[in-house]
Amino acid sequence: MEVGPGTGNLSMKILEHAKKLIAFEIDTRMIAELKKRVIGTPYQQKLDVRAGDVLRCDDWPNFDVCVANLPYQISSPFVFRLLLQRPLPRYAVLMFQKEFADRLIAKPGSKLYCRLSVNVQLLAKVEHLMKVKRSEFRPPPKVDSAVVRIEPKNPPPPINYKEWDGLLRIAFHRKNKTLLSSFKQNQVISMLDKNYRVVCSVKNKPIPKDFSIKDYIEKVLTENGFVTKRARTMEIEDFLALLLAFNKVDIHFA
Ligand SMILES: C[S@@+](CC[C@H](N)C(=O)[O-])C[C@H]1O[C@@H](n2cnc3c(N)ncnc32)[C@H](O)[C@@H]1O
């Protein structure tokens, strides 16, 4: 599958090697151009062009490899849509704006390490393949690009993704602060208090009169060695351990 065949040569190159290419394209002129290129050639049978917004298409067809020269504004939703695809594709080779690619592959301790890095690396192995300088294009765009290989982990980790992302949002809100300070924000406290009370009422678990979610959270962080940890240096395994520690005592993020 390719997103946006456009007038570039990417689709033609894929058609040389692929058994079949399903290409999504939003621009009708691009669709006409691509169809014109294959008409009467052996590639015509291999090509299936789907008109419309790839992100609005609810049922992507099954595919094993995805190759796309993406419009950069849809990079993030496209990657997550790809990682939610079932059955999982074997891998994707995608071109992104360089800064976005750098965040995808960033490791703990790097300035660029962020929620995006952790979320994608939880679900996939991400590898930088090559830089593509702006001067390689005519006319040159304003930004450099990079090609990245994304190989989804199969099977995917058994995790409640909403819970996971809820935890990361708090931890990365200020990624240089300690977790203790991130979890002491009023908004965070009131959200976690609300969630805790819902869980307790569902479980018929009594809540002591002098209960303080703030103290409860601090206790979990302390007992599990997370009080002074900072999101920017935490490994995926650390976040998984933290989520487990919170969930064990009925603190939930979604
Ligand atoms: C960066 S160009 C790549 C063109 C071509 N693949 C190439 O390599 O030369 C991105 C293409 O994606 C198309 N496009 C933009 N947003 C899209 C969307 N949401 N769904 C499908 N195609 C889209 C644009 O019309 C454009 O043709």
Kindly list the distances between the CA atom of residue 201 and the CA atoms of 195, 197, 252, in Å, as whole numbers in the listed order: 10, 6, 14
Whether the ω angle into residue 89 lies within 30 degrees of 0, i.e. cis, is no
CATH number of the domain at 144, please. Answer: 3.40.50.150
Same domain? 147 vs 176: no
Pocket of ligand 1, beta carbon within 6 A: 3-6, 8, 10, 24-27, 30, 53-55, 69, 71, 74
| 53 and 138 fall within a common domain | yes
What was the pLDDT predicted at 138? 86
Write down the pLDDT at residue 3.
54
Do 121 and 12 share a structural domain?
yes
Rounded to whole angstroms, the Cα distance separating 238 from 229 reads 10
53 is in an annotated binding site: yes
Return the SS3 of 83. Answer: helix
Domain ends where: 134, 152, 170? Answer: 152
40 inside domain: yes
For 151-164, letters b (16+ CB in 10 Å) and e give ebeeeeeeeebebb
CA-closest residue to ligand 1 atom 15: 71
In a domain, 91, yes or no: yes
Residues 8 and 134 in one domain: yes
Gap from CA of 25 to ligand 1 centroid (Å): 6
Task: State the pairing for strand pair 91-97/65-69.
Answer: parallel
Q: How many CB atoms lie within 10 A of CB 201?
A: 10
Domain identity same for 27 and 140 = yes
Which band of pLDDT confidence, cut at 50, 70 and 90, is reported for residue 6?
very low
Q: Mark whether 127 and 182 lie in a shared domain.
A: no
Return the higher-pLDDT residue of 58 and 179.
179
Q: Are residues 176 and 59 in the same domain?
A: no
Asked if 235 and 194 sit in the same domain, the reply is: yes
Residue 254 belongs to a domain? no
Asked if 141 and 167 sit in the same domain, the reply is no
Residue 2 confidence (pLDDT): 55
Q: What pLDDT score does 17 carry?
A: 86
- 253 near 245, Cβ under 8 Å? no
Q: Is residue 236 part of a domain?
A: yes
Query: In angstroms, what is the span from residue 119 Cα to ligand 1's centroid?
Result: 25
Eight-class DSSP state of 115: H
Q: Residue 137: pLDDT band by 50, 70, 90 thresholds?
A: confident
Count of structural domains, the chain: 2
209 plus 85 within the same structural domain: no
Comparing 10 with 118, the larger pLDDT belongs to 118
Partners of 126 in beta bridges:
150
State if pTM tops 0.95. Answer: no
Q: Is the pLDDT of residue 4 over 60?
A: no
- Residue 234 among known ligand-binding residues: no
Range of the domain at 243: 161-248
Predicted local distance difference test score (pLDDT) of residue 14:
86
Which tokens in the block code for residue 108?
């703990």
Calpha distance 176→185 (Å, rounded):
15
Q: Are residues 30 and 111 in the same domain?
A: yes
Closest CA to 142 of 130, 150, 151, 133: 133
Distance 6 CA to ligand 1 centre (A): 6
Say which residue, 70 or 160, is predicted with more confidence.
Answer: 160
Tens digits of residue pLDDT in 122-135: 999 999 999 999 99
What is the 182 CA–ligand 1 centroid distance (Å)?
A: 39
**pLDDT class for 112, splitting at 50, 70, 90?**
very high
In this structure, what CATH number is given to the domain that contains residue 223?
Answer: 1.10.8.480
Instruction: Please choose, from the candidates 21, 16, 68, 9, the residue with its C-alpha nearest in 3D space to the C-alpha of residue 46.
Output: 21
pLDDT tens per residue, range 213-250: 999 999 999 999 999 999 999 999 999 999 999 999 99
Residue 47 is inside which H or E element, if any?
A: strand 47-51
Q: What is the ipTM of this complex?
A: 0.95
Domain assignment present for residue 253? The answer is: no
